């Protein structure tokens, strides 16, 4: 009985060991798939991840600095009565909208990339709602200027132009920042798994994709 118990325990340990290795392999394969997907989407021209992270972080910081300067010069400093013509969407003033639109776009960009990389439904749906609401806020002053007496056409155009610039700069900065964060994750994962060469894999896939086309031309 003791021999049978020991034998069953040994088999149980081996089965547990195999299942543990299989689970670890699945985790590694899943992480590898995500890492390759990130690199395929960003499509870097060179494989120095540190340089890519530095470049995108620098661009993100520079664009955000430009956003702050533009907001300070065109929204904060001018003596404009922002209480005139509050938004019909939940009633914020224009000053609040100049902060709300970039915030919606920034958070929406994060949720959109989270949904795309992880294949999740809910973050993508929320990001779509945020983007639509931000677009409504951007174009609302123009329609108010044309179809209402609360704002003149020039005032409506100027408000919408400022919102478009603020939202566009934050959108671009968010994309660079998210790319830098994702590349940072890929870099850490590659460092923790030195046996995996993502550059070699991408080169092999590129050559395999180019070979059929070359043969067809020949």
Query: pLDDT band at residue 46, thresholds of 50, 70 and 90?
Result: low
Please state the rounded mean pLDDT for residues 138-163.
90
Nearest-CA neighbor of 108 among 90, 89, 123, 92? 123
Residues whose CB is less than 8 angstroms from the CB of residue 154 and which lie 6 or more positions away in sequence, other chains included: 145
CB of 85 closer than 8 Å to CB of 77: no
DSSP code, position 194: T
Nearest-CA neighbor of 80 among 137, 142, 159, 148? 159
Query: pLDDT band at residue 166, thresholds of 50, 70 and 90?
Result: very high
CB of 152 closer than 8 Å to CB of 160: no
Query: Cβ–Cβ contacts within 10 Å for residue 95, how many?
Result: 13
The proportion of the chain whose per-residue pLDDT surpasses 90, expressed as a percent, equals 33
pTM of the model: 0.70
Query: pLDDT band at residue 202, thresholds of 50, 70 and 90?
Result: very low
Is 56's pLDDT higher than 80?
A: yes
Backbone angles phi, psi at 130, to 5 degrees: -65, -40
Query: Cβ–Cβ contacts within 10 Å for residue 175, how many?
Result: 17
């Amino acid at each position: 009985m003791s021999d049978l118990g020991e034998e069953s325990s040994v088999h149980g340990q081996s089965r547990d060991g195999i299942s543990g290795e299989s689970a670890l392999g699945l985790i590694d394969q899943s992480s590898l798939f995500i890492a390759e997907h990130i690199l395929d989407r960003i499509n870097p021209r060179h494989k120095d991840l540190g340089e890519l992270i530095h470049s995108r972080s620098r661009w993100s910081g520079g664009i955000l600095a430009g956003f702050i300067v533009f907001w300070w010069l065109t929204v904060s400093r001018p003596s404009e009565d922002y209480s005139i013509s509050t938004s019909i969407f939940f009633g914020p003033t224009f000053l609040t909208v100049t902060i709300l639109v970039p915030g919606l776009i920034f958070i929406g960009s994060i949720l959109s990339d989270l949904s795309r990389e992880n294949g999740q439904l809910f973050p993508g749906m929320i990001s779509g709602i945020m983007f639509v609401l931000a677009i409504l806020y951007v174009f609302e002053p123009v329609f108010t200027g044309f179809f209402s007496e609360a704002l003149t056409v020039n005032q409506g155009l100027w408000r919408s132009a400022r919102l478009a610039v603020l939202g566009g700069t934050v959108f671009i900065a968010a994309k660079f920042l998210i790319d830098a964060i994702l590349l940072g994750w890929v870099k850490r994962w590659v460092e923790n798994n030195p046996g995996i060469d993502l550059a070699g894999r991408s080169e092999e896939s590129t050559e395999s994709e180019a070979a059929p086309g070359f043969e067809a031309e020949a």
